[in-house]
Amino acid sequence: MQRTQPHTVLIGLATPLRMRRLRARKRGFTIIEILIAIVVLVLGITGIVALFPTAIESGNQTVEDTYSATITQSVVDAISVGIRESRYSYRAPVTNRVWTYFLMNHDGVVDEAVPTPEIYTDATGKMWARDYCVLLPQSAAPDNFASANEPTFVFPIPALPDQVIPFRDTGAEGAPSQPFLDLFVRKPTNLDAGAGVFNTMNGVDPVNFARTTSAGTPTRWFTRVYHLGRLRKGDPGVLPADVGQIRPEFRGEDIMDGTVAVQTIAVDPYPNYSFAFTIKRARLDTHATGGGGGVPNPDGTISADDRFSNSLFELKIYIFKNFSDTVAAGLAIPETGGGGAFPPVTRGNRAVREFITLISL
């Protein structure tokens, strides 16, 4: 009996200890533990969510890069083909200067081609005002080296809808709303008018085309662009009212406001893109020094002493996304009460990409 008593005491002590352990295992989480777990979970999710805007922006940039590069290469190819296959010359009878032009056939050109493109003076077709006619610039001084005297031609030709739209419908010439926005500035009579016409042809004159963004950053104002994915005049089954509309293969559903369709959403982003381009003569390495001319003396560099070429041109292509013709037209007139300041150029009317290359005749 004396040997069993200690065992009885131990058993009595072990039973409460076992019960406490069982209760500890069945006990749930405290509020503090739950809060700590939630904080850890939120921090982890926040870090992941923070990556979404960057990933989305990176994806958008990749898409814009792809479309911009593809469109640019397509435009360069179309210009190269135009120079090679449909290049013509026009000699002004009074000044005896020879002007070179070519036809560009690319998506975005909605004007119907004339049957005799080799006749620049065609008064019926007025091809000098058509968006497919690309006239190559030249300086008022044939042997020019000064940048201030070197014009840059913009395509399509800067103009406002009140001149472009009636002309496309009737073929009749109309006066421009602004003197420097003239669809007919490169007509034959102007090419034969002497040195003064070169200033009006320059579509990048800072006095007329310099604008700013909402942040105050300088930018260029484009009045018109070549909208992609649009119906062209003269194509089979295209009515005059449909010219410039999105082609059927790119159309999606109409957004309805409850009564009428207000906008057609394209199923492909391609019709949201557009382009414009500028052409100016490029300099050649002709002289080391001496703005007054002299014997050619190349020095291996391009400087202000070098002459501009008649056969080598600098081509700059501007790619736009969601360009608004309405916004572009509104940039022609300063804001009322704004001290003569022009409205800021919105993102859609600023080029998302710019590419520069050289083309030769």
Closest C-alpha among 174, 224, 200 to residue 331: 224
Check residue 16 and give its pLDDT: 63
For residues 318-355, one letter each, b for 16 or more C-beta atoms within 10 angstroms of the residue's C-beta and e for the rest, the string is bbbbebebeebbebbeeeeeeeeebbbbbeebbbbbeb
Highest mean pLDDT among 53-67, 180-194, 334-348: 180-194
What are the residue boundaries of the structural domains of the chain, listed by start? 4-48, 50-360
SS3 347: helix
Check residue 47 and give its pLDDT: 73
pLDDT in tens, 298-336: 666 777 777 888 889 999 999 999 999 999 999 988 876
Check residue 339 and give its pLDDT: 56
Residue 199 has pLDDT above 90, yes or no: no
Contact partners, residue 227, CB within 8 Å, separation at least 6: 108, 244, 271, 274, 323
d(Cα 246, Cα 264) in Å, to the nearest integer?
Answer: 9
How many alpha carbons lie under 13 Å from residue 61 in its C-beta half-sphere?
6
- pTM, rounded to two decimals: 0.80
Residue 341 has pLDDT above 60, yes or no: yes
Structure tokens at 297: 């003396």
Residue type, 187: K
Residue 109 CB coordination number (10 Å): 22
Check residue 38 and give its pLDDT: 84
pLDDT in tens, 33-51: 778 888 888 877 877 777 6
Residue 8 has pLDDT above 60, yes or no: no
pLDDT in tens, 83-106: 999 999 999 898 888 999 999 999
d(Cα 353, Cα 123) in Å, to the nearest integer?
Answer: 37
Check residue 1 and give its pLDDT: 46
d(Cα 138, Cα 151) in Å, to the nearest integer?
Answer: 7
DSSP-derived pairing of the beta strands 133-135 and 87-91:
unpaired
Greater model confidence, 269 or 106: 106
> C-alpha distances in angstroms, 209 versus 9, 154, 280?
103, 11, 16
d(Cα 145, Cα 149) in Å, to the nearest integer?
Answer: 8
Check residue 234 and give its pLDDT: 83
pLDDT in tens, 145-157: 778 888 899 999 9
Structure tokens at 91: 């000699």
DSSP string, 301-342: S--TTSPEEEEEEEEEEEEEES--HHHHHHTTSPPTTTTTPP
Contact partners, residue 161, CB within 8 Å, separation at least 6: 325, 329
**Region 203-229 average pLDDT:** 90
Average pLDDT, the chain: 82
**Through-space distance between the first and last CA atoms of the chain, rounded to whole angstroms:** 123
Residue 160 has pLDDT above 70, yes or no: yes
**Region 259-288 average pLDDT:** 77
Residue 288 has pLDDT above 70, yes or no: no
**Least-confidence region, from 69-73, 107-111, 187-191, 257-261:** 257-261
d(Cα 58, Cα 52) in Å, to the nearest integer?
Answer: 10
Axis-axis angle for helices 31-49, 51-85 (nearest 10) = 10
% of the chain surpassing 70 pLDDT: 78
